């Protein structure tokens, strides 16, 4: 009697394959190079500028040379307004329109890969790479800064100190907040990618919107309306470094970001599930 042959059925577009594809792309290597270079550039700039200390309260910039912890905080401060936005927009907005530009999107959907599965795999991969980037930057800055300036406690602008391991917990809170606050950026980039099928338009559109929102946020005449602008609470993570943490701004920032992300992503998914894919 012949034994039955068991065929292993592999689901189309496995997550591992999608991650490997993204790792091999030049834009991923470019992001890694920028993240590696940033703290090194900051250290080089500090060595050229000398000591900027003085009496009275000091800023994150002035305190950047105090310890590896301080350099890490300054690296996050310097990158929150633009670099992190670009990195998240790149990973979230580039994947779907790139498939269209390569004329491979319709072949993926005929594999067969359902549109829902395609979107899910792309978004999960974008979340993985965005998370890895936002974890790598402070970890690498802490290591490089520690070698250059020592692994002493974090020193705040008013002289307060946060030692280890308390600073490690505060840094974890900051990274989690940055990830959640960037959900709106990821949603905008993904939506532009679905609507335009243009990688540059997807990434650039999300970045331009966040820049415009930052400009509007400086107009005091808008009053409390500025609190609803994406990016208004971008630097609220600094509250996690206070002697007494007040999480109210961080909570508001997360709620606004998640709310916008749900609405924009839902609209993008609805459109993609119904659009005519020809490329």
261 vs 271, which has greater pLDDT? 261
Torsion angles phi and psi, residue 155, rounded to 5? -115, 120
Mean pLDDT of 85-101: 82
Label residue 11 by pLDDT band (50, 70, 90).
low
199 vs 56, which has greater pLDDT? 199
269 vs 250, which has greater pLDDT? 250
Condensed to tens digits (0 to 9), the pLDDT of residues 150-171 reads 999 999 888 889 999 999 999 9
pLDDT above 60 for 9:
no
For the chain, what is the total number of helices (H) and then of strands (E)? 11, 2
Mean pLDDT of 179-198: 91
CA separation for the pair 157, 81 (Å, rounded):
20
pLDDT above 50 for 7:
no
pLDDT at position 49: 72
pLDDT at position 108: 54
pLDDT above 60 for 145:
yes
Contact assessment for residue 275 and residue 99, using Cβ atoms and an 8 Å cutoff: no
Give the CA dihedral 181, 186, 192, 197, nearest 10 degrees.
Answer: 170
pLDDT above 80 for 271:
yes
Condensed to tens digits (0 to 9), the pLDDT of residues 105-125 reads 555 555 565 778 788 888 999
Mean pLDDT of 119-142: 94
Percentage with pLDDT > 70 across the chain: 85
| pTM (two decimals) | 0.87
197: left (phi over 0), alpha (psi -120 to 50) or beta: left
Label residue 174 by pLDDT band (50, 70, 90).
very high
Tokens 């989690």 sit on residue:
176
Mean pLDDT of 49-57: 58
242 vs 49, which has greater pLDDT? 242
pLDDT at position 150: 94
CA separation for the pair 237, 60 (Å, rounded):
13
Contact assessment for residue 77 and residue 69, using Cβ atoms and an 8 Å cutoff: no
Condensed to tens digits (0 to 9), the pLDDT of residues 208-257 reads 999 999 999 999 999 999 999 999 999 999 999 988 889 999 999 999 99
CA separation for the pair 54, 58 (Å, rounded):
8
CA separation for the pair 143, 166 (Å, rounded):
17
Average pLDDT, the chain: 86
Condensed to tens digits (0 to 9), the pLDDT of residues 71-89 reads 999 999 999 999 999 999 9
pLDDT at position 122: 86
Label residue 58 by pLDDT band (50, 70, 90).
low
Helices 15-23 and 115-149: crossing angle, nearest 10°? Answer: 50
């Amino acid at each position: 009697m012949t034994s039955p042959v068991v065929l292993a059925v592999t689901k189309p577009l496995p997550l591992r394959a999608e991650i490997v594809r993204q790792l091999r792309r030049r834009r991923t290597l470019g992001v890694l190079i920028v993240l590696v270079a940033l703290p090194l550039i900051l250290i080089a700039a500090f060595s050229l500028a000398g000591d900027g200390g003085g009496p009275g309260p000091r800023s994150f910039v002035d305190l950047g040379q105090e310890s590896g912890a301080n350099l890490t905080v300054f690296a996050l401060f310097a990158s929150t307004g633009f670099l992190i936005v670009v990195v998240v927009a790149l990973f979230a907005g580039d994947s779907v329109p790139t498939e269209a530009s390569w004329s491979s999107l319709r072949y993926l959907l005929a594999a067969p890969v359902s549109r829902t599965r395609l979107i899910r795999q792309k978004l999960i991969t974008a979340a993985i790479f965005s998370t890895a980037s936002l974890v790598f930057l402070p970890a690498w800055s802490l290591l490089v800064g520690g070698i250059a300036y020592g692994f002493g406690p974090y020193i705040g602008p008013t002289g307060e100190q946060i030692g280890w391991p308390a600073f490690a917990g505060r840094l974890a809170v900051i990274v989690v907040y940055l990830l959640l606050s960037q959900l709106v950026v990821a949603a905008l980039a993904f939506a532009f990618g679905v609507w335009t099928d243009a990688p540059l338009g997807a990434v650039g559109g999300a970045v331009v919107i966040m820049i415009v929102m930052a400009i509007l946020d400086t107009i005091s005449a808008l009053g409390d309306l500025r609190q609803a602008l994406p990016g208004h609470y971008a630097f609220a993570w600094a509250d996690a470094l206070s002697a007494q943490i007040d999480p109210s701004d961080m909570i508001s920032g997360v709620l606004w970001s998640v709310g916008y992300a749900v609405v924009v992503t839902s609209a993008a998914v609805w459109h993609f599930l119904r659009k005519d894919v020809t490329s």
